[in-house]
Chains A and B, each alone.
Chain A
Amino acid sequence: MNFWEYLSSRHQQLLTDAYQHAGAVFQCMIVATVIGVGIGIVTYRSEWGGSLATATTATILTIPSLAMIGLLIPIVGLGVPPTVIALTLYGLLPIVRNSIVGLRGVDPSLVDAAKGIGMSRPARLVRVELPLAWPPILTGIRISTQMLMGIAAIAAYASGPGLGNEIFRGIGSLGSKNALNQVLAGTLGIIILALLFDAAYVLVGRLTIPRGIRA
């Protein structure tokens, strides 16, 4: 069976896997964005707070993904929970770092002006600082998503959802006639998903970055 025949015979299974893969990454990204931007907002004002947040999330990223999932299985069991936790943790670094950089990069004279015309602290954050820091934050989210696309494949090790199952099945049956097809289908699927997400982010950027600060 060549690759195309494999694809047409298994397209139902592949589409389900791809859908679950995308779904897992997307949902984990939402959680990671909320937590990451939150950490950024809390820490960007203090020198050491920002460094601590960046260093911690950077350390998380150095843990090999297989090891991370392996460590999570005894704690939260198999399936979806270890996948979601691992992906969310891995997704934090670019978002946290870019949030801090973005928020710190807002022109202090503008913050001063916002204060001077009587905006309260929350209003300043929501109306001035976050919108101005949004382009770098969005870049962080984009980098994070690309990263998670690849890492999500490992989730199959913990019986998680996604295209990783296809790859692991192929690796597990190396030498059989469909092994290469399975690995190839899983890998290409992930690449295509990553490109689609990236295109989506370009669109999100167009829609959410105010025209006045668009490059």
Chain B
Amino acid sequence: MPEATATAEKATAGHASTKGATIELEHLTKRYPGSREPAVDSVNVGIKAGELVVFVGPSGCGKSTTLKMINRLIEPTGGRIRIGGEDVTHMDPVRLRRKIGYAIQASGLFPHMTVAQNISLVPKMVGWSKPRIRSRVEEMLDLVGLDPGEFHGRYPRQLSGGQQQRVGVARALAADPPVLLMDEPFGAVDPITRNHLQDELIRLQQELHKTIVFVTHDFNEAIKLGDRIAVLRERSHIAQFDTPEAILTHPADDFVSGFVGAGAALKRLNLTRVRDVEVTDCPTVTVDDPLPSIFNLLRASGTNEILLLDKRRRPYKWLRRGDLMRAEGSPARAGTLVHDTVTRDATLRDALEAVLTDNTGRVAVTGRRGEYIGVVDMETLMNSVHELLEADRLGAMEHRHEREEARAQQTHFEQEDVDAGEAKA
């Protein structure tokens, strides 16, 4: 691990970021003095490097305690934690925490420091040079989608809840840790902002490939974000640890299926993103285009509608054939405003929602700065849902088979272990 960090530091100097490290929790236990039952009872979890794992479970199930044991905010009373193969159970907790990003509910930003000061805390503690810290702060703000020039000197109370949360994530990532722990980070923001932040996190993770452990009680959030999900019941017992697809299609027991709740088929839509389905093109014009060319396009294209883009190529209005006539040739007055757009990272559920609310039967897909990329329509959605369900049905059978095989192998290994132990004795 020391070598790994050394190379990692070199890598950051060259602007590449540290990739994730594995996390292994072995029989991790927390027993509070004076209570008979342990709060967390012998948790075993193996998390792969670069994976986003969500701990989800009812409140009080110990998911947060388990998370806080990884950076030893809560000292485990038993078991072992390995990060990147290194046993950190007895490492100096202060040094350990500087290598682990930590983002919490309601951002946890220090109100007496500016955004820049908040972000630069950890890099300062680990001894980065001033110019490096300064450029890192800019880089981080840019990464979480905030304009560095505008937000650099602001205080947390001058930010909205969503912006604070973004800065919180930027602070957690500032010293480029391989591991990021997130404790219900989006719990305190409104649903729309939460949706945006989730999309952002997915985008971030695609760029950075950190190992992220994310705690939430919201199963939909877990499905949307997790590469794998650990469904926890009381005392952090793992009811099921698997991919979202597997949990939705094959809940291990009644507890999990109860937690998954109704409408698993609909939730399935949360697992696929717009980027995974075919984004079709649709004829577009911009507000600057001369009127005759708009007419020509309307006539030439087979469709009834064309999309009018604004000066920055963002979707602005849907124009129908008759619209321009009625508005006496002024595109500014014609057509219906675009209500809702989705990004490539949006889920099919979001897309379906947008398609259903928009009366045009399709939704425009936009890029990072809101620029037009293409459209997704009802037909595409229907087709992909059909494909998904079909694939699930096949996967289901395969999965059941695999699980049974794995279980057989496990018993086999355990048997061998016992044999070996006995032989030694």
A binds B: yes
With A132-B112, A211-B155, A213-B112 as known contacts, state yes or no: A117 contacts B171, CB within 8 Å. yes
A128 to B121, CA, bound (A): 11
B contact residues around A191 at 8 Å (CB):
none
A123 CA to B95 CA in the complex, in Å? 13
Q: Which residues of B contact A211 (CB under 8 A)?
A: 155
Q: A116-B73, A118-B94, A212-B157 are in contact. Are A123 and B125 (CB under 8 A)?
A: yes
- Interface flag for B251 (CB, 8 Å): no
A128 touches B110 (CB 8 A): yes
Query: Which of B102, B113, B122 is A210 in contact with, Cβ under 8 Å?
Result: B113
- Selecting from A43-51, A73-81, A106-114, the interface stretch reads A106-114
Answer whether residue A115 sits at the interface, using C-beta atoms and an 8 A cutoff.
yes
B155 in contact with A112 (CB, 8 Å): no
A118 near B157 (CB under 8 angstroms)?
no
Which chain B residues border A62 with CB–CB below 8 Å? none
A212 touches B155 (CB 8 A): yes
- CA A17 to CA B356, docked complex, whole Å: 84
Identify which of A112, A113, A132 gathers the most chain B CB atoms within 10 Å of its CB.
A113
Closest Cβ–Cβ distance, residue A49 to chain B (whole Å): 21
The CA-CA distance from A202 to B87 in the complex, in Å, is 53
Interface residues of A in 191-215 (CB under 8 A from B): 210-213
Task: Name the interface residues of B22-45: CB closer than 8 Å to any CB of A.
Answer: none
Known contacts A109-B105, A212-B155; is A115 also within 8 Å of B112 by CB? no
Tell me, in angstroms, the Cα distance from A116 to B73 when the chains sit together: 7
Q: How far is the CB of B188 from chain A (nearest CB, A)?
A: 10
Contact flag A118-B111 (CB < 8 Å), given A109-B106, A211-B155: no
B97 to chain A, nearest CB (A): 4
Cβ contact of B125, chosen from A110, A119, A210, cutoff 8 A: A119
The CA-CA distance from A201 to B92 in the complex, in Å, is: 42
Residue from A109, A117, A123, A127 whose CB has the most chain B CB atoms within 10 Å = A117
Q: For the complex, is B98 an interface residue (Cβ under 8 Å from A)?
A: yes
Given contacts A117-B121, A119-B125, A212-B113, 5 further A-B contacts (CB under 8 A): A116-B73, A123-B125, A131-B112, A212-B111, A212-B157
Partner of B104, one of A116, A119, A213: A116
Contacts of A131 in B (CB 8 A): 112
Using known A-B contacts A115-B73, A117-B97, A118-B94, determine if residue A212 contacts B156 with beta carbons closer than 8 Å: yes
B107's nearest neighbour on chain A, judged by CB, is A113
CB A14 to nearest CB in B, in angstroms, measures 42
Q: List 17 A-B contacts (CB under 8 A).
A: A109-B105, A110-B108, A110-B111, A113-B104, A116-B104, A117-B98, A118-B96, A118-B97, A118-B99, A119-B94, A123-B125, A132-B112, A210-B113, A211-B155, A212-B112, A212-B114, A213-B112
Are B97 and A210 in contact, CB atoms less than 8 angstroms apart?
A: no
B156 touches A120 (CB 8 A): no
B343 at the interface (CB under 8 A from A): no
Do A109 and B104 touch (CB < 8 A)?
yes
Q: Is B284 an interface residue (CB 8 A)?
A: no
> Which chain A residues border B104 with CB–CB below 8 Å?
109, 112-113, 116
Complex Cα–Cα for A131 and B121 (A): 15
User: Which residues from 73 to 125 on chain B have a C-beta closer than 8 Å to any C-beta of chain A?
Assistant: 73, 94-102, 104-106, 108-114, 121-122, 125
How many angstroms between the C-alpha atoms of A113 and B157 in the bound complex?
Answer: 17
B125:A113 contact, CB within 8 angstroms: no
- Taking a contact as CB atoms under 8 Å apart, the answer to whether B102 and A116 are in contact is yes
Interface size in chain A (residues, C-beta < 8 A): 20
Within the complex, the shortest CB–CB distance from A102 to chain B, in Å, comes to 13
Residues of A contacting B122 with CB < 8 Å? 117-118
Nearest-neighbour CB distance to chain B for A103, whole angstroms, equals: 14
Give the residue among B101, B112, B122, B156 with the most A Cβ atoms within 10 A: B112
A132 and B108 contact, Cβ closer than 8 Å, known pairs A116-B97, A117-B97, A118-B125? no
Q: CB within 8 Å of A: which of B152-193?
A: 155-157, 171-172, 181
In Å, the complex CA distance between A131 and B181 comes to: 27
A134 to chain B, nearest CB (A): 8
Residues of chain A from 163 to 215 with CB closer than 8 A to chain B in the complex: 210-213
Partner pick for B172 among A117, A120, A213, CB 8 A cutoff: A117
Across the interface, B98 reaches (CB within 8 A) one of A114, A118, A132, A210, namely: A118
Q: Which residue of B lies closest to A128 (CB)?
A: B110
- Chain B positions within 8 Å of A110 at CB level: 108, 110-111
| In the complex, chain B residues whose CB is within 8 Å of the CB of A120 | 94
Interchain CA distance A163-B300 in the complex, whole Å: 98
Sort A-B residue pairs by CB-CB distance and give the 8 closest, nearest first. A113-B108, A212-B155, A118-B97, A118-B98, A116-B102, A210-B112, A212-B112, A131-B112
Find chain B residues with CB under 8 A from A116 CB: 71, 73, 97, 102, 104, 108, 181
Q: How far is the CA of A113 from the CA of B68 in the complex (A)?
A: 11
Query: Which residues of chain A are within 8 angstroms of B157 by Cβ–Cβ distance?
Result: 212
Question: How far is B111's CA from A121's CA once the two chains are assembled, in angstroms?
Answer: 19
- Interfacial chain B residues near A123, Cβ < 8 Å: 125
Are A114 and B110 touching (Cβ within 8 A)?
yes
Cα-based distance from A110 to B121 in the complex (angstroms)? 14
Give every chain A residue within 8 A of B101 (Cβ-Cβ): 117
From 92 to 114 in chain A, residues with beta carbon under 8 angstroms from any chain B beta carbon are 109-110, 112-114
Q: Point out the residues of chain B lying under 8 angstroms from A213, CB to CB.
A: 111-112
Q: How far is the CA of A94 from the CA of B171 in the complex (A)?
A: 37
Contacts of A114 in B (CB 8 A): 110
The 8 A CB mask of A46-78 against B (1 = contact, 0 = none) is 000000000000000000000000000000000
Complex-state Cα separation, A112 to B111, whole angstroms: 14
Docked-complex contact B97 and A112, CB < 8 angstroms:
no
Distance in Å from the Cβ of A214 to the closest Cβ of chain B? 9
Q: Which residues of B contact A112 (CB under 8 A)?
A: 73, 104, 108
